[in-house]
């Protein structure tokens, strides 16, 4: 037996992952971003293969990950996670961002960010783990949003999230 609610006890943050390719850029919400080394710092991001962000990271070879602050508004977070970048330009919603290595770095409602060059990737079925060598990291302001707080206080997850529960038991 697998009780999917057990996975909600894992510690996650909530992030905005940026990507770009061919002069186009996209941003998505993610909860699976983590540091894996400190010397020559490397981070990993898990991205669903259906997402435009996946295509851009795969082709462009770079990504950013902005750590959302705990006071980030729910509509701001969901604006990047419940709409497809194939249908709308998510960066045109008035979000303050900078462009580094051809990828957007969101600054609004974020506590920190990293920009990484992809050095490897691992196919894990529905998702790809992109492993990136950090080229830039900056501390901004405020404390980070923890995924369990987001789920309990702010809302559900999109269907492409690693923790999405198909049975509809969102909490």
- At 19, the pLDDT band (50, 70, 90 cuts) reads very high
Q: Share the mean pLDDT of the chain.
A: 85
pTM for this structure? 0.84
- Interatomic CA distance for residues 87 and 50, integer angstroms: 13
pLDDT at 54 over 90: yes
- At 101, the pLDDT band (50, 70, 90 cuts) reads very high
Q: What is the mean pLDDT of residues 19-42?
A: 94
- Interatomic CA distance for residues 13 and 125, integer angstroms: 23
pLDDT at 121 over 90: yes
In DSSP terms, 138 is beta-bridged to 113
Residue 37 included in any domain: no
Give the pLDDT score at 4: 78
- At 90, the pLDDT band (50, 70, 90 cuts) reads confident
Residue 74 included in any domain: yes
pLDDT at 112 over 70: yes
Count of structural domains within the chain: 1
Domain ranges, residue 17: 4-32+52-115+137-154
Residue 39 included in any domain: no
């Amino acid at each position: 037996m697998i009780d999917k609610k057990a996975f909600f006890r894992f510690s996650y943050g909530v992030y905005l992952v940026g990507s770009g390719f061919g002069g186009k850029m996209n941003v998505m919400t993610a909860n699976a971003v983590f540091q894996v080394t400190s010397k020559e710092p490397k981070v990993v991001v898990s991205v669903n293969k259906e997402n435009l962000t996946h295509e851009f990271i795969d082709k462009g070879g770079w990504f950013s990950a902005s750590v959302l602050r705990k006071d980030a508004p729910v509509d701001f977070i969901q604006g990047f996670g419940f709409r497809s970048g194939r249908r709308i330009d998510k960066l045109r919603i008035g979000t303050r961002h900078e462009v580094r290595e051809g990828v957007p770095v969101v600054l609004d409602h974020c506590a920190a960010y990293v920009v990484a060059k992809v050095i490897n990737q691992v196919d894990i079925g529905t998702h790809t783990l992109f492993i990136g060598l950090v080229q830039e990291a900056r501390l901004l302001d405020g404390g980070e949003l923890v995924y369990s707080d987001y789920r309990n206080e702010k809302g559900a997850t999109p269907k492409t999230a690693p923790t999405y529960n198909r049975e509809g038991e969102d909490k």
